[in-house]
Chains A and B, each alone.
Chain A
Amino acid sequence: MKYVVAEASEIESGGRKIVSVAGRSIGVFNLDGEFFALRNRCPHQGGKLCEGKLWGVIRSERPGDFEYRPSREILCCPWHGWEFHVRTGQSWCAPERLRVRRYEVETVAGEEIAEAAEVTAAPIEDPDAPSPGMVKGPYTAETYPVSREGEYLVVEIPG
């Protein structure tokens, strides 16, 4: 099912909106014009993940060395600090064990909502993967043309 959750202009770049859809709480994030939605429930112990702070990617080759990319795509759970990549829902620490449910978000022109077009997911190499071992999930941003007027965000919930 697809749900209209916001106007695109409502969520500024770097911002988020937490919405209730189909009985669950979901966070919709704007990363530099791209939108992502995550379930607001941490797979660790159920913390309100989408209320966590966003961080850039930080890597290091040796003590005292910091390589920082200010992408602010890492969401840190307010309960115990597990980190999740907003683009993929992938947890950073233990990619195999924990993965938050990722929903697909499309930006579609107003008139297309009625047509309920099918969306195809295209796997894209993630340039911000925080570590080589991180699993990259497919996502579907920018698959549809964005109209400047009447621009809505649509979240698709499977089932």
Chain B
Amino acid sequence: MIDADVHIPNPRLRDLYPLLPEHWVEHFNNTVDKGASQEYYPPRSPVAGRRGGLEELREAVFDQGGAELAISSCLYAVDSVHNPDVAAALAAATNDWQSREWLEQEPRLRGSVVAPIQLPAAAAEEIERCADRPGFVQVLIPARTEHPLGSRLYHPLWKTIERSGLVAAIHFGGAPVMPPTPTGWPSFFLEEYTAMAQVFATQLTSMIVEGVFDACPDLRVVFLESGFTWIPSHLWRMDKEWRNLRRLVPWVRRPPSDYFREHVRVGIQPLDAPPDPAHLGEVVDQLGSDDLLLYASDYPHVHACDAGDLLFRLLPESLGRKIRSENARSFYRMGG
């Protein structure tokens, strides 16, 4: 089994000191700047990550969880940092820390490059710096960004990711200057979390319509903690609108749903399961391909139900096998 979404905790600022240029260490020591914001979730809520170490992760993900390989990410929000030089320095130090403290220590663990996405050119440099390091298989991109991800501002960044051979992992969260809902700033966490599926939907539309996959035909994208039950109806709507509006975007030569099925994979957490499990089977069917879903535990975040248990009970054995490991293995080109 391959677990496509586990988390390593954010580094504490002092973990990064040995890896940061000296003047930044002095800056953090002497000012109120204490680096990137630490958590998307309210502290100590059940979904908030516990600060477990490598031993705890090994036990939960590999020993008890039964994964042979796990793809990890660190959600240190360098995208929340407004000083561009600090953002780039923190990203680089975080990646060095991930390599040294996690990926080099545990050969079954794969990692995600952290990059200052708000600065596409700096992000591209950081990605190139880390691309060939052992362990890194993807670039972490928070779902919420300052501009829609299909914007031409990001096209050079997409080309860099495509060339690097890494997957682009678009993950729940993000701390840009923009509100987390399409209509402005909400008042409560509940609103923000619920709106995240719409953020993903918007990013998917943007990337397809603005031609990211036409410009980068080898680009691979994975959605993590996006949920997936919203996808069939969203694809249907995109295909429908494409028919009458495609003249403005003639590079989109196939129905948008084709691009999705070719370029995008989706982790199974969180499972927005309908109360009747039979309906869940229908939604999986409506995705239109058995290759799309990847098993993901979201360790150490705790969700209301174990998505894997529910899905594997419900789906045919062969599809369960694909979700458990085959899909991730082929998408991430892991061999074996």
Chain A residues packing against B (C-beta within 8 Å):
55, 58-66, 76, 80-83, 93, 131
Judging by beta carbons under 8 Å apart, are B251 and A60 in contact?
yes
Chain B residues packing against A (C-beta within 8 Å):
152, 155, 210-212, 214-215, 240, 243-245, 247, 249-251, 253, 255
Judging by beta carbons under 8 Å apart, are B215 and A62 in contact?
yes
**CA–CA, A131 to B252, complex, Å?**
12
Judging by beta carbons under 8 Å apart, are A81 and B243 in contact?
yes
Pick from A63, A66, A76, A80: contact of B215, CB under 8 Å: A63
Judging by beta carbons under 8 Å apart, are A66 and B250 in contact?
yes
Q: Which residues of B contact A82 (CB under 8 A)?
A: 243-244
Specify the main secondary structure of chain B where it touches its partner: helix
Judging by beta carbons under 8 Å apart, are B247 and A62 in contact?
no
**CA–CA, A55 to B247, complex, Å?**
10
Chain A's closest residue to B211 (CB) is: A63
Pick from A59, A80, A131: contact of B244, CB under 8 Å: A80
Q: With A63-B214, A93-B255, A131-B253 given, is the CB distance from A58 to B247 under 8 Å?
A: yes
**CA–CA, A153 to B245, complex, Å?**
34
Pick from A55, A63, A76: contact of B251, CB under 8 Å: A63
**CA–CA, A82 to B242, complex, Å?**
10
Chain B's closest residue to A77 (CB) is: B244
Judging by beta carbons under 8 Å apart, are A59 and B250 in contact?
yes
Judging by beta carbons under 8 Å apart, are A60 and B250 in contact?
yes
Chain A's closest residue to B252 (CB) is: A60
**CA–CA, A62 to B214, complex, Å?**
6
Instruction: Tell me the minimal C-beta distance from A143 to chain B in angstroms.
Output: 33
**CA–CA, A62 to B215, complex, Å?**
6
Instruction: Tell me the minimal C-beta distance from A100 to chain B in angstroms.
Output: 15
Q: Which residues of A contact B249 (CB under 8 A)?
A: 60, 63
Q: Which residues of B contact A61 (CB under 8 A)?
A: 251
**Can you give 30 A-B contacts (C-beta < 8 A)?**
A55-B247, A58-B247, A58-B250, A60-B214, A60-B249, A60-B250, A60-B253, A61-B251, A62-B211, A62-B214, A62-B215, A62-B251, A63-B152, A63-B155, A63-B210, A63-B212, A63-B214, A63-B251, A65-B251, A66-B250, A76-B244, A80-B243, A80-B244, A81-B243, A81-B244, A82-B243, A83-B243, A93-B243, A93-B255, A131-B253
